[in-house]
Chain A
Amino acid sequence: MGEPAYFDRFALQYDWKNHRRQVVGEELIIHCHHYNSKLQHTIEGAAKIDGKHIITSSAQAAFAAFLSRAVRPTDSTVEKYAVASALYAYLGFGMLDLSKLEHGEVTASASHFVEGWRSGFPQRSTPVCTFTEGYLQAAARVAGERSVRVRETRCMMQGHPNCRFEISDGAREPDYVIERRPYSVPPSTVPEYVRSPNIDEQKIYEALIEMPIHGDPQGVIPAFNVYLANMPALFYNLISIRFVEEMSRVGLGDTARQLLKYDAETCGLNTFRGIMNSAEWDGLIAPMVRQEEDKLFGIIAVSNALGWGNWHCLAHEPGASLSMEARNGYEALGYRELRASTKEPVCLMLTGVSAGIMGLVYGEGPVPERMGQFASDEANCIGCDQASCRFDTRATS
């Protein structure tokens, strides 16, 4: 059986030096359904801001640019919609039927985000596909040259066999415009990192690059015991930066930063717990593990291969502390591209994950009770004009 139509346009380019994944020139970060739905839950759940609008407008802005590069000038409108549907499936977001989009209706028969909500928030009884609304607005803009507003009218989360989206002409407001300034980190000396002699990092990188991390026939990516998705780094950066900014306007900036770190700590605990229980871990990494800290170094190698940033261990005392350096974390670079330098460190995801993975490897008790057993700070940040980002984590008791 051959690959689905148009998948050949989305060949993965991997930058080995910087651990960066790119498809059609777009930098992608792999996260799982737990993290993506939790992030959405946090942003939409804030009462004093319009979190839903942050997600739809950021998705529209990020994917309009992405899709513009994926379609070709010679493609017909029908082909452009087919490319949009194929890209959505390739990235792992699910299966869209865009054949009736011009008549005002789209349906989805599988959804990464619905799976995340089912897993983390099964009591939810209202539609959850906010991200998809933004994606569809981008698809209509790029493929049909239409400015539309998309609203999900029923959702698999509510027990329906598929999700249904209503398309109406005329956007609610002008498109959210992104201004990006190219930024590259000034060169600096690379320190000697702490590594495990037992963990073959190169073997892990090669395996994860070779592994087909793209949508299956349902457009989702069941791998490492989680549903993975390839998300543009730009989308994560837009929603995080805008969430903190809008929360700051109502006096809740610190709360926003804490919430995003908390989501990331949960991700470090739950996503990597799933990964460590997976057949992939058993087949590839478990045979390398000789001592407890090897698990930590295995996790770090996996996260680099997922595109999170070229980050490595500066110092580690098993069970007590961890110091990590990231030379190109997507949050810091994204902040510099989208905003400017800042006084506050901006790598909230890597900060929270540092505490989460320490809790996972060395924490005590059931995993949900390991939240907070380690605390992490970003001591240096590229966003603050420093040469690299450094995360210091220590046990809290």
Chain B
Amino acid sequence: MKLPFRKRDYSCLTRLTYKYFVEPERTVEIWRQLEAELGPIQRLAMVRVQQINTPALIVRATFDGNPITVMQRSGGDDGALARVHAIFGFTEEPAP
């Protein structure tokens, strides 16, 4: 499987949730860029979770940083998701 790729997560808090699997060697750099783009990373040591919570998106992973779950909040703009995709280097497969 070519990285990065994403998998729809149907069991999540919003209907627009995907889990992104990124290149392991890029994980640290990706989180640095996410922090610069979206805001400070909140670390919940008791459950080993790191997350960035914005009005448009919630981005979270374990302390390992990968895979990264991205949840689009209700009313969130698509621009925020596009910027996260750019950081991941993710492009959607063109329709056949």
Contacts and interface: CB of A to CB of B under 8 A. Distances in A.
Interface of A: 33, 114-115, 118-119, 122, 156, 161, 206-208, 210-212, 216-218, 222, 225-227, 270, 273-274, 277-280, 282-284, 367
B15 to A, nearest CB: 6
B75 interface: yes
Contacts of B49: 279-280, 283
B47 A119 contact: no
A227 B14 CA distance: 9
B48 A284 contact: yes
Contacts of B44: 211-212, 280
Given A279-B69, A367-B11, A206 B46 contact: yes
Which 7 residue pairs spanning A and B have beta carbons closest together? A283-B48, A207-B46, A283-B62, A280-B47, A273-B11, A210-B46, A284-B47
Contacts of A119: 13-15
Interface class of chain A by DSSP:
helix
19 contacts: A115-B13, A115-B74, A118-B15, A119-B14, A122-B15, A207-B46, A207-B47, A211-B46, A225-B17, A226-B12, A274-B12, A277-B11, A278-B69, A279-B61, A280-B44, A280-B47, A280-B49, A283-B47, A284-B48
Interface residues on B, range: 20 to 34
A225 B12 contact: yes
Interface stretch (B24-32, B50-58, B83-91): B50-58
Contacts, number: 70
B58 A222 contact: yes
Given A226-B12, A277-B11, A282-B62, 15 more contacts: A115-B13, A118-B74, A156-B74, A156-B75, A207-B46, A211-B47, A217-B55, A225-B11, A225-B13, A226-B13, A279-B51, A279-B62, A283-B49, A284-B47, A367-B11
Contact of A222 (B9, B11, B53, B63): B53
A280 B60 CA distance: 9
Contacts of B60: 279
B17 to A, nearest CB: 8
A197 B60 CA distance: 30
Contacts of B51: 279
A205 B10 CA distance: 27
Interface string B60-84: 1111000001010011000000000
Contact of B75 (A161, A208, A212, A277): A161
Contacts of A282: 62
A270 B11 contact: yes
B86 to A, nearest CB: 22
